Amino acid sequence: MRIASLSEIKKELKQKTNQELIELILKLTKYKVDNKELLAYLLFESADENHFISKIESEIDLQFARVNIKSNYVINKNIRKIQRYIVKQIRFSKQKETEIALRIQFCKNLIDIQSKYNINNTRHQMLMRQIELIRKALAFIHEDLQFDYELELTELLEQVAH
């Protein structure tokens, strides 16, 4: 079965009535949780990105507080789960400022975990990868914001060094 191209889908959607479009969207949201989460973001959260960022940062803090500390393996597994959650939220927003803010929050919590428990190479590599991704995203934002985020990044790197 051949899948229709995006332009074909767009043409077909233009021919639908508002009621038919609503029904199609609702079917999509019932099909997969990610679709529902994306639609909820677009409808309710995208208008106030700062509120969205603070909400997700709170959720990140909460998830880190719940990390099971039974063993390094379990800690790392929990952290990867948080990382996947953050990546999903970044994909919803598609704004570099949001990406940087969420990754910095993740790094702060990861550094906190590193200081409480023994230093682990896997967690250190995760941290370095996040810092690298933050640096890449910094190139795409306004210079004033770049400066502010560079200061936060420098603070993070100082904490990693200690």
Arithmetic mean of pLDDT over the chain: 93
In a domain, 7, yes or no: no
In a domain, 38, yes or no: no
Question: Is residue 117 very low, low, confident or very high in pLDDT (cuts 50, 70, 90)?
Answer: confident
pLDDT of 118 over the 90 cut: no
Residue 70 has a pLDDT of 87
- What single DSSP character describes residue 41? I
Residue 160 has a pLDDT of 80
Closest to 149 (Cα-Cα) out of 138, 140, 133, 136: 138
In a domain, 112, yes or no: yes
Question: Is residue 128 very low, low, confident or very high in pLDDT (cuts 50, 70, 90)?
Answer: very high
In a domain, 107, yes or no: yes
In a domain, 2, yes or no: no
pLDDT of 138 over the 80 cut: yes
In a domain, 119, yes or no: yes
Residue 57 has a pLDDT of 97
Q: Which residue has the higher pLDDT, 117 or 80?
A: 80
pTM: 0.89
Query: What phi-psi label fits residue 5: left (phi over 0), alpha (psi between -120 and 50 degrees) or beta?
Result: beta
In a domain, 68, yes or no: yes
Q: Total domain count for the chain?
A: 1
Q: Which domain holds residue 140?
A: 48-161
In a domain, 118, yes or no: yes
d(CA 42, CA 45) in angstroms, rounded, equals: 6
27-79 pLDDT tens trace: 999 989 999 999 999 999 999 999 999 999 999 999 999 999 888 899 999 99
d(CA 56, CA 25) in angstroms, rounded, equals: 25
Question: Is residue 148 very low, low, confident or very high in pLDDT (cuts 50, 70, 90)?
Answer: very high
Mean pLDDT of 20-28: 93
